[in-house]
A and B are shown apart, each in its own frame.
Chain A
């Protein structure tokens, strides 16, 4: 299983010398050529760093999962999800096209959904998986909109080409909307406050997945995106303000909430939230030192946090305990694990000679150089640094020292496939700490170049001489140990803080979901009452208002048509029709209603006859007679006219009906007012005799010029007849009694 990630690592290392020298390798495959969407791969320092982290840690996780889930019946399915996730993640960091970036981005959300929900018998796991997907999915889609706007103002969808248009983009009026939308994607994915709540809940995932997704890789996708976008969108006040504000807040909130947790994975989750905040803040600050610190912190964090998660998994696996308060004195039983845990914890706390120390020094250094903002920045990072050491000691040292609770029983060291990966990660922390030169020029400085656009000198090392940063370091180490020793008091003191954070975030999610459901119910109740009558009302009301709106907003005026003065018999005809219509409405007997309907029908036929349409009149007379007969026949088997509606409803319906009728009258008046030359009709009338040898133009139109329509008409009629027949005669074999 681990073979594939390992071979990817080897493959990547082939390109290491090129990226180290600052080259950018590209490969393009057309995908939707007409829209210039290409599957273009790009490999530069930044991509290389992320890709190596993803595949390298992926290999270790795959080994670990083999041990951790050895007894699980669906280990293969887990491996499949894990591999697909890894490929999607590699896609995110290797693509140069905004659209393919988004696709891979969403694929990581989907695959992580399956990984979080892997233990799907648990309701909690399903809920957490869905929450993570909805939050990151929403952010991702907002990001898509942002990326499309970015492509629109930048003139291309290729990231490498957008960099050249950076100035143009930052000056565009659409810059701020695009920035906000893209940040929505990055902040949800990288669990920035106030969207961070999904990450601690996502700890329902099996531990290997948590370690991989929620510490080392997926949550860093947002950070990657920001780093990638820095040369395009960065350097503005908006960028600086939003990133450092959100990042800084997240950094502090994560650390403050994390310190008072007692469940292994929750401590680690909140400290990850804090770490992600740190990274976002550093990218937002955007100075050379800050970017350097970001890259150092990125690597250090991936190494120690991955290791600690895996350690937490081992403790859970071997003892069945998930809470740090329930374990202690495990060093003897789990020696290898304890070693990995100790190293990782020290790296997290920033203790020399581990790599975490170098990262922390760089962090302090960059905070110190922030000019006006130096004081708040230093306070924030030092507080965080103190709490990191405290948390590191809580999960990495505490469980292995002290007295062993008697209820733990016999504990055996885990299989080598489980303790080896965290030990390798922790060991690498140590190695990079002592020998930072190993990655400085090959990985870190090419990555920094990708972010800022130029290369700047770096000096990594454990010893930087006596500086203010060193003083701060020493101070935070001392305070960190103090925090660890007084943890009981701290937990108590920070308790109210927890409530506030939850109120701001997770509770908002719940509230959103509840409100959404309430809204959905409200609108379906309103529109989907089930009453045919209401549907008709809504349809007519909408039609009327849409038409009226269109007319009022656009149309000119028209005059009343008096050009065709009525003659006496026409007036009588109209009066009869009107009288019949009104009486139909008030009829109490079925037969009476049918009679009035017949009168109206014959009246309409007479109108046709009066105005030059004898054919229509004949047809109408015939059809009307047939209709009346049909009505009389059928209505005898139907119930009589019953007045079912209440008075109020009748009044309401009457008002609406009259309004509707008035609108129709207005429209007809408008129609009659328009003078146009009936070109088509004239054409048909002219051609009627010479071409079709017909003297009746209406017939010619129906039979010759519009033969296909007449065929359609006949078909519709015969279908109706078929329907009538089917309804009367055919019965399904079993008639259900109602």
Chain B
């Protein structure tokens, strides 16, 4: 017993997983609140306070990480990374958590869920999201994905009363488990082919001939399929429209923003990192996923009259645009990250607005329900328009710059056909997003009702809109950050 036992956890590691700890503590706090208070009013107040503190703490600890020279650091027995990339996504998820607390509250209550229950489950899901961007081996990746999905299965399931909701919950769960099985399967093959699940080791093996092993390739294809499911890319997308439409809107918002961003964070880290050398071997597969996602998502969205379903289809298309970045070089990867950020902010805003429209139990469902919104509620309609324009990729919003980066990198690396397909499908995007804008601004007959917005909601929505515009008008600074973050992946 003479030699000191090296601890697997270093003190510095705790800062590196600070955001993770912050949300876990917040989750514990929610549970404590639920037990400590009996009055709903007090429960709600403390839930909100603890949630906001948790989100803020997550953001602050993310910023406290010493990035050093930009090299990735391995922490906690080499299971997790700590670098600029994780900081970037930490901030995004922390922002989403804050936005969800402020903007989804009304929708949570409208769906007859208790905020404390909703947010304690959501907090665990956020913990999973914080893990996805930092997973440094396949086991952590698998756990992160499970951790983020499990609470959502529960959330989608227990709050709904309608048949549609039941259907959504069952589909989400069954298909999600199958996707997890596929992911696990891919991990097993990858291990079978290399004898390792570690990203660093995998990367070394893959670039030194491991990519020619049939097992590695099959494993990569299966992991890609499993992640494509979470991201909602074709042909693993079928759950999105049914589940987005059927779930309570607060849960849908979480799926459209957090789950998607987390899936992308994991996919980008894995594909652009250890698998970079093997990527050209699966580029045909990726090409088809991208092309089909853009076509199927946009064409599907054209037909929809239900707003949540429309956003679901369009999110499929956006997954395609984002993954297109991975076909390019490091600029393309950076473009994908940039696009992810813009997409998440815009969708968070769009869902934020959608959740406020409605009366009592009822929320607005179809595009026509929004007729005449601008006449009665001009300011929130303006915010909604900004988010929609960004999703449609129209300047001067961030959505345009993001599309520009992605298409630009695709053209630079010779994927001109794919870029053109992206351009063509974007026009369809303009068509269906503008239907909402037209309904709000150009039709007068409707009388959409708006729930009362608290001052904090206005602040959050305003901030989201401002950042979407800022990303469109002054993309330079974020682009620099994203570029350095991507450098640490390789």
Residues of A within 8 A of B (CB): 30-35, 99, 103, 106-107, 110, 113, 117, 120-121, 126, 130, 133-134, 137-138, 141-142, 144-145, 148-149, 152, 177, 181, 516-517, 519-521, 523-524, 527-528, 530, 532, 534-536, 538-540, 542-543, 546-547, 549-551, 553-556, 558, 667, 670-672, 674, 676-681, 691-693, 704-709, 712-713, 715-716, 719-720, 722-723, 726-727, 730, 732-736, 738
Q: Could you tell me the dominant secondary structure of chain B's interface residues?
A: helix
Decide: A705 near B8, CB < 8 A? Known: A145-B407, A547-B222, A676-B195: yes
Residues on A with C-beta less than 8 A from B171 are 532, 535
- CB of B79 within 8 A of CB of A706, answer yes
Residues of B within 8 A of A (CB): 5-6, 8-9, 17, 76-77, 79-80, 111-113, 117, 121, 124, 127, 131, 139-140, 143-144, 146-147, 150-151, 153-154, 157-163, 170-171, 174-175, 178-179, 182, 188-189, 192-198, 201, 212-215, 217-218, 220-222, 224-225, 229, 234-239, 241-242, 281-282, 284-285, 295-296, 299-300, 302-303, 394-396, 400, 404, 407-408, 411-412, 416, 419-420, 423-424, 426-428, 430-431, 434, 438, 441-444, 474-476, 479-480, 483
Which of A144, A152, A672 has the most C-beta atoms of chain B within 10 angstroms of its own C-beta?
A144
Which of A133, A543, A706 has the most C-beta atoms of chain B within 10 angstroms of its own C-beta?
A543
Residues on B with C-beta less than 8 A from A120 are 438, 441-443
Task: Please give me the residue from chain A that is nearest to B190 by CB atom.
Answer: A671
Decide: A549 near B285, CB < 8 A? Known: A141-B423, A542-B235: yes
A121 to B182, CA, bound (A): 53
Pick the residue among B154, B194, B212, B427 that contacts A726 (CB under 8 A): B154
Task: Determine how close the nearest CB of chain A comes to the CB of B68; give it in whole angstroms.
Answer: 21
Task: Determine how close the nearest CB of chain A comes to the CB of B387; give it in whole angstroms.
Answer: 15
Task: Please give me the residue from chain B that is nearest to A703 by CB atom.
Answer: B8
Pick the residue among B76, B404, B441, B443 that contacts A99 (CB under 8 A): B404
- CB of A141 within 8 A of CB of B426, answer yes
Task: Please give me the residue from chain B that is nearest to A538 by CB atom.
Answer: B235
Pick the residue among B221, B229, B479 that contacts A547 (CB under 8 A): B221
- CB of B235 within 8 A of CB of A539, answer yes
User: Could you show 6 A-B contacts with beta carbons less than 8 Å apart?
Assistant: A145-B423, A528-B238, A679-B195, A691-B6, A713-B143, A726-B117
- CB of B476 within 8 A of CB of A516, answer no
A318 to B213, CA, bound (A): 81
Residues on B with C-beta less than 8 A from A538 are 235, 238
A530 to B475, CA, bound (A): 41
Which of A141, A516, A678, A734 has the most C-beta atoms of chain B within 10 angstroms of its own C-beta?
A141
- CB of A34 within 8 A of CB of B479, answer yes
- CB of B77 within 8 A of CB of A708, answer yes
Decide: A712 near B143, CB < 8 A? Known: A103-B395, A130-B431, A516-B302: yes
A540 to B185, CA, bound (A): 13
- CB of B192 within 8 A of CB of A671, answer yes
Residues on A with C-beta less than 8 A from B194 are 676
A106 to B396, CA, bound (A): 9
- CB of B170 within 8 A of CB of A532, answer yes
- CB of B225 within 8 A of CB of A732, answer no
Residues on B with C-beta less than 8 A from A144 are 404, 407, 423
- CB of B131 within 8 A of CB of A712, answer yes
Task: Please give me the residue from chain B that is nearest to A110 by CB atom.
Answer: B394
Pick the residue among A106, A181, A535 that contacts B395 (CB under 8 A): A106
- CB of B182 within 8 A of CB of A520, answer no
Decide: A554 near B150, CB < 8 A? Known: A103-B396, A138-B424, A532-B170: no
Residues on B with C-beta less than 8 A from A110 are 394
A141 to B407, CA, bound (A): 10
Residues on B with C-beta less than 8 A from A149 are 411, 416
Decide: A550 near B217, CB < 8 A? Known: A110-B394, A542-B236, A680-B196: yes
A713 to B442, CA, bound (A): 52
Pick the residue among A137, A141, A693, A705 that contacts B77 (CB under 8 A): A705
Pick the residue among B140, B150, B175, B441 that contacts A723 (CB under 8 A): B150
Residues on A with C-beta less than 8 A from B157 are 723, 726-727
Q: Could you tell me the dominant secondary structure of chain A's interface residues?
A: helix
- CB of B175 within 8 A of CB of A738, answer no
Task: Please give me the residue from chain B that is nearest to A720 by CB atom.
Answer: B150
Task: Determine how close the nearest CB of chain B comes to the CB of A709; give it in whole angstroms.
Answer: 5
A26 to B60, CA, bound (A): 44
Residues on A with C-beta less than 8 A from B189 are 667, 671
A530 to B243, CA, bound (A): 10
Q: A120-B438, A542-B225, A692-B5 are in contact. List 19 more A-B contacts (CB 8 A).
A: A31-B475, A103-B396, A126-B442, A144-B407, A144-B423, A145-B416, A535-B171, A539-B175, A542-B236, A543-B225, A547-B225, A558-B214, A667-B189, A674-B213, A680-B198, A708-B77, A722-B121, A733-B112, A736-B162
Task: Please give me the residue from chain B that is nearest to A687 by CB atom.
Answer: B6
Task: Determine how close the nearest CB of chain A comes to the CB of B276; give it in whole angstroms.
Answer: 16
- CB of A734 within 8 A of CB of B198, answer no
Decide: A674 near B281, CB < 8 A? Known: A524-B300, A712-B144, A738-B162: no
Residues on A with C-beta less than 8 A from B302 are 516-517, 520
- CB of A674 within 8 A of CB of B193, answer yes
A675 to B285, CA, bound (A): 27
Residues on B with C-beta less than 8 A from A735 are 161
A554 to B219, CA, bound (A): 13
Task: Determine how close the nearest CB of chain A comes to the CB of B48; give it in whole angstroms.
Answer: 21
A179 to B350, CA, bound (A): 38
- CB of B476 within 8 A of CB of A546, answer no
Decide: A734 near B112, CB < 8 A? Known: A528-B300, A547-B221, A726-B154: yes
Pick the residue among B143, B159, B282, B394 that contacts A550 (CB under 8 A): B282
- CB of A556 within 8 A of CB of B214, answer yes
A706 to B428, CA, bound (A): 48
Decide: A133 near B236, CB < 8 A? Known: A712-B143, A723-B154: no
Residues on A with C-beta less than 8 A from B239 are 535
Pick the residue among A134, A708, A726 that contacts B431 (CB under 8 A): A134
Pick the residue among B8, B154, B221, B430 that contacts A137 (CB under 8 A): B430
Pick the residue among A33, A130, A145, A551 that contacts B420 (CB under 8 A): A145
Residues on A with C-beta less than 8 A from B192 are 671-672, 674
Residues on A with C-beta less than 8 A from B170 are 532
A106 to B400, CA, bound (A): 10
Pick the residue among B77, B111, B193 that contacts A671 (CB under 8 A): B193
Residues on B with C-beta less than 8 A from A719 are 121, 124, 147, 150-151, 154
Residues on B with C-beta less than 8 A from A733 are 112
Pick the residue among B212, B423, B444 that contacts A556 (CB under 8 A): B212
Task: Determine how close the nearest CB of chain A comes to the CB of B341; give it in whole angstroms.
Answer: 15
A705 to B137, CA, bound (A): 13
Residues on B with C-beta less than 8 A from A722 are 121, 154
Task: Determine how close the nearest CB of chain B comes to the CB of A275; give it in whole angstroms.
Answer: 27
- CB of B299 within 8 A of CB of A133, answer no
Task: Determine how close the nearest CB of chain B comes to the CB of A30; give it in whole angstroms.
Answer: 7
Task: Determine how close the nearest CB of chain B comes to the CB of A706; give it in whole angstroms.
Answer: 6
A410 to B188, CA, bound (A): 89
A676 to B151, CA, bound (A): 38
Residues on A with C-beta less than 8 A from B221 are 543, 546-547, 550
Decide: A532 near B300, CB < 8 A? Known: A554-B217, A706-B77: no
Task: Determine how close the nearest CB of chain B comes to the CB of A536; give it in whole angstroms.
Answer: 6
Decide: A723 near B158, CB < 8 A? Known: A523-B300, A542-B236: yes
Decide: A546 near B442, CB < 8 A? Known: A706-B79, A716-B150: no
Residues on B with C-beta less than 8 A from A558 are 214
Residues on A with C-beta less than 8 A from B127 are 715
- CB of A524 within 8 A of CB of B303, answer yes
- CB of A691 within 8 A of CB of B229, answer no
Task: Determine how close the nearest CB of chain B comes to the CB of A534; give it in whole angstroms.
Answer: 8
Residues on B with C-beta less than 8 A from A678 are 195-196
- CB of B178 within 8 A of CB of A520, answer no
Which of B229, B285, B441 has the most C-beta atoms of chain A within 10 angstroms of its own C-beta?
B285
Residues on A with C-beta less than 8 A from B188 are 671
Those 5 A-B pairs whose CB atoms lie nearest each other, nearest first: A555-B214, A120-B442, A671-B192, A723-B154, A520-B299
